[in-house]
Amino acid sequence: MRWTARILLTVTAILTYVPLNGQTEFKGYAFNPKAGLCVGKNWWGFGAGLEFNLITNQSLFSFDVYLCHDFSLFGDSNVKFRQLGILFGKYIGTRQLRLQYEGGIAPTWGTKKGYYTDTDYVEEEDYLTIGLTAKIGLKVLLSPSVSFGADIQGNLNPKNPMFFPSVSIEIGRLKE
């Protein structure tokens, strides 16, 4: 119950900040699909994500979803990582190049990889937890509505920490 109250309080505070920010400058948005390599505690695989950004006064407010699955040539490993994130951050840069940095919270769920101990095998385990997430990205603005870039995102959680370098393309209203 306490976790639910904390999550709701945090989400409410973030959602309240954006309308109260007194927007007087550029307001934009971006849809940002991405794909890359997922690296977990004892696994690695491929992943994809989709992010929606609201852009105001060099601030970013983002909602994202990431889906990762492990890579296994031989064997039947079934590791999964899923994340829904709410992030807030800023961008700096010129009209052609931007550095974005964001942080937030992310409910995270999936399946942890099974492993062998000295005496027996520990089965795969499903989990659900809250993680702290952070992202840094470098974007090249090709036009007022398209950019190409690279992102590095991490999720620090007690069950299955994850690191996700990816390439991305942004489509939307990116600059005036």
Checking if the pLDDT of 16 tops 70, the result is no
Name the burial class of residue 55, with classes exposed (0-12), middle (13-18) and buried (19+) by CB atoms within 10 angstroms of its CB. Answer: buried
Domain-by-domain residue ranges, the chain?
Answer: 26-173
Residues 6+ apart with CB under 8 A from 142: 148
Provide mean pLDDT across the span 122-150: 90
| Average pLDDT for the chain | 83
Nearest alpha carbon to residue 42 among 150, 161, 142? 161
Measure Cα distances from 138 to 35, 79, 147, 174 in Å: 15, 29, 10, 14
Classified by CATH at the fold level, domain 26-173 comes out as Porin (2.40.160)
SS3 content of the chain, % helix, strand, coil (to 5): 10, 65, 25
Predicted TM-score (pTM) of this structure: 0.74
Is there a contact between 172 and 141 (Cβ–Cβ < 8 Å)? no
Q: What is the pLDDT of residue 12?
A: 59
Q: What is the pLDDT of residue 117?
A: 73
Nearest alpha carbon to residue 85 among 152, 21, 127, 130? 130
Tokens (6 digits) for 116: 């062998």
Residues 158 and 96: their CA atoms lie apart, in Å, by: 38
- 81-135 confidence digits (pLDDT tens): 889 999 999 999 888 899 999 999 999 988 877 666 778 776 777 889 999 999 9
